[in-house]
Amino acid sequence: MPPLSRSGRFKKGPDADVRRYSESISFDWRLYRQDIAGSIAHATMLAKTGIITKRDCAQIIRGLRQIERQIEQGKFRWREELEDVHMNIEAALTARVPAAAKLHTARSRNDQVATDLRLWVMDEIQALDARIQNLQLALVHLAKRTRSKSGLLPIPGYTHLQRAQPVLAAHHLLAYVEMLERDRDRFSDCALRANVCPLGSGAMAGTSLPIDRALTAKLLGFEKPSDNSMDAVGDRDFAAEFLFAAALTGIHLSRLAEDFILWSSSEFGFITIGDSHTTGSSLMPQKKNPDVAELARGKSGRLIGNLVSLLTMLKGLPMTYNRDMQEDKEPLFDSADTLDTSLTVFACMIQATRFNAAACLKAVTDPGLLATEVADHLVRHGVPFRQAHHAVGKAVKLAETGKMTLSDLTPKQWRDIHPSFGKDIARALTLTEMFRSRDRLPGSPGQHQVEAQIKRWKKQLS
């Protein structure tokens, strides 16, 4: 019997090198669940419309279920000469069920693979959503337990990697929870556009046979059948969107990783990452390296590369299916695997991390962090902000020149800088007042505001 993928048009099979070059079974075998589900739905529809008999349908479905069990038990032999997952499964089915020859009626591998891939993407989005949610919860739990004697632990906030203003460590961690929630939204949005069934589009122009596309879509759980047969087999927008969402999630992980790498360094000392998620040096016995965070940071480049790979492949394609599209799967599979592993390991690393309160409190007591509070103090005394900003800049310069801090300036020195500075300037130079002043401002690092956000996230994510 000739290979199922080759018609009577060919006198002989492809050259061995061509066969190895063009096969995709080495990676697209991963679509077997979706492929079998699509074939069961297609067979059911063919029987409902009278194109095949109910008996043929039952035999086909029974045979497909047997093959699925065989694959899951690791007993199925994938054959390179059959090119891809579709032909491997169909050949195995044909060998055991004579009616299998009717299964490909009104179907092409073009609409078959487009359907399989959409189903796979939607399945992966569900799995990744759970992983992202677990990471969010790990961050929320770390935020909740990161405390000092006076409440949630303060740390310096940074802009340009320079100390800027005091924040709460929990507020910093919750910023990443917000980022990750947007990632979940993007994946969810991608799933909406993937939720269209191409089956019935054929190679690119549908079929003359009386099939029921709405039934097939319903059986597979799709929202609806596709509206244009040419677009249906040639569309990989959903794959590009998936890779974009994966890449941006990877970038967010990379930024979080960078914070953890800096915070765990001797220069900062804000956190200690557990031994279970760090490594030593082959030469320097004192080293404790944040390898998990560094690997997550490094793998973000891989996720970006997979997106660029797919976009580059798509940019020059004419309408409908082209064999170039075989190159869509490896980037998809690799990004899903990479992100899944990174999210899982990162969540565990966060659970094994603790903040070092003493180091954080020492860093955040730098009075220079409260310079903006001093400017706001003048504003409350009726001074225009630009004038207040200039006056505080002069105070900072004076303190630097005298090798002092802002807290060391005398009342007279403050008044010499600006007459609106009164005795209450000392109050503006306290962390307590800084955080108290933000307790009524939504989205700010006030103690009560952040406690409320922790409570909200715990409820939402649980």
Q: Are strands 224-225 and 196-197 parallel, antiparallel or unpaired?
A: parallel
Residue 281 designated active-site: yes
> Is residue 285 a contact partner of residue 218, using CB atoms and an 8 Å limit?
no
Q: Name residue, tokens 């299964």.
A: 103
Longest distance between any two alpha carbons in the chain, whole Å: 100
d(CA 438, CA 452): 13
Buried b (16+ CB within 10 A) or exposed e, 76-111: bebeebbbbbbbbbbbbbbeebebbebbbebbbbbb
Q: Which two tokens stand for residue 130?
A: 């759970």
d(CA 234, CA 320): 4
Classified as helix, coil or strand, 289 is strand
| Residue of 160, 208, 266, 462 with catalytic role | 160
Check residue 323 and give left, alpha or beta (phi > 0: left; psi -120 to 50: alpha).
alpha
Please give the radius of gyration of the chain, using alpha carbons only, rounded to the nearest integer. 31
Q: Name residue, tokens 């199925």.
A: 76
Q: Which two tokens stand for residue 411?
A: 């009342």
The CB-based long-range contact list for 270-276 (8 Å cut-off, 24+ gap) reads: 270/155, 270/169, 270/355, 270/356, 270/359, 270/360, 270/363, 271/353, 271/354, 271/355, 271/356, 272/353, 272/354, 272/356, 273/349, 273/352, 273/353, 274/349, 274/352, 274/353, 276/348, 276/352
Q: Name residue, tokens 């976009």.
A: 311
> Is residue 4 a contact partner of residue 87, using CB atoms and an 8 Å limit?
yes
d(CA 408, CA 399): 8
| Residue of 26, 265, 276, 281 with catalytic role | 281
Angle 460-174-279 from CA coordinates, rounded to 5°: 115
Q: Which two tokens stand for residue 108?
A: 């092409």
Residue 266 designated active-site: no
Angle 311-316-318 from CA coordinates, rounded to 5°: 120
The phi, psi pair for 148, rounded to 5°, reads -115, -175
d(CA 341, CA 24): 24
Active site residues: 160, 281
